[in-house]
Structure 1
């Protein structure tokens, strides 16, 4: 079965706590490659926020939803207003090892950065085909662990974006 080519437009979601601890996940196909949640749009017309919500759910088991639930997965749920589009985009050269996933001649990807505030201790369930381990690190240490320069830079910008985050005065 042939898979369709990936769309060269993606999201990067920095998942963090109020303490500025950042979730990093290790790729299964590249041991030692730590990153935030990333993923491409499924369709050209998929809204970027929907791509971000979908990828967070698929890769970490964290659900971004305003639905009220008393199910066992409720501990994994965060409100939609905790997902913020940072209005930051990076255009970068796709690593040669992954270019086969894109149409012939596609060498660049546009990545849109989001932040997601989650409670400390939220359960994380990795997609075993994509990631092997996860860790929570203070944001500067997390940036140092990232293999992707754009991911590291986004994490280092976290303090300036949290001031625009959801109201935490409750």
Structure 2
């Protein structure tokens, strides 16, 4: 059975601590490509919060329980060109993806359990260094917006 095409709508989850240390994870299929948690909707009607919660757990083992670990929807979307190397995952002719930005504040000592088929390493960095290390421009921009988003929450 052929694998279904990816839906060109996804979430980006910036994981950070109270002092704006950002968790980045390194892609297994592209060594040196560092990013925040990302993932596409499983179904066109899947709620974005459900996608973000699922991807956060699948990629890091972090459970957003809605009490201690709370995902925040930034109400911000980016439309970007899908990298040619990954376009085969989408239906023919699909070249753009809509990405919805979330964040989650976690304790610095939270255990990180990577999915080895997706990611091979992780690192905590101050947000400016993290932004510089992100391979995706929209991911870097989200990390740079983190101080403003964090301040708006308090």
Shorter chain as denominator, the TM-score bin is over 0.9
| 4+ long deviations beyond 4 Å | none
Superposed CA RMSD: 1.1
**Distance apart, 1:89 and its partner CA:** 0.6
> Per-residue displacement from partner, 1:67-107 (whole Å, max 9, x unpaired)?
8xxxxxxxxxx43xx21001111000000000000001000
What is the aligned partner in structure 1 of residue 75 from structure 2? 87
What is the aligned partner in structure 2 of residue 107 from structure 1? 95
TM-score (norm 1): 0.88
What is the aligned partner in structure 2 of residue 40 from structure 1? 40
**Rg larger in structure:** 1
Distance 1:65 1:32 in 2: 31
Distance 1:124 1:110 in 2: 27
2:141 equivalent to 1:153: yes
2:120 equivalent to 1:132: yes
TM-score (norm 2): 0.97
Aligned length: 154
How has the CA–CA distance of structure 1 residues 134 and 154 changed in structure 2, closer, same or farther, with 3 Å as cutoff? Answer: same
What is the aligned partner in structure 1 of residue 65 from structure 2? 65
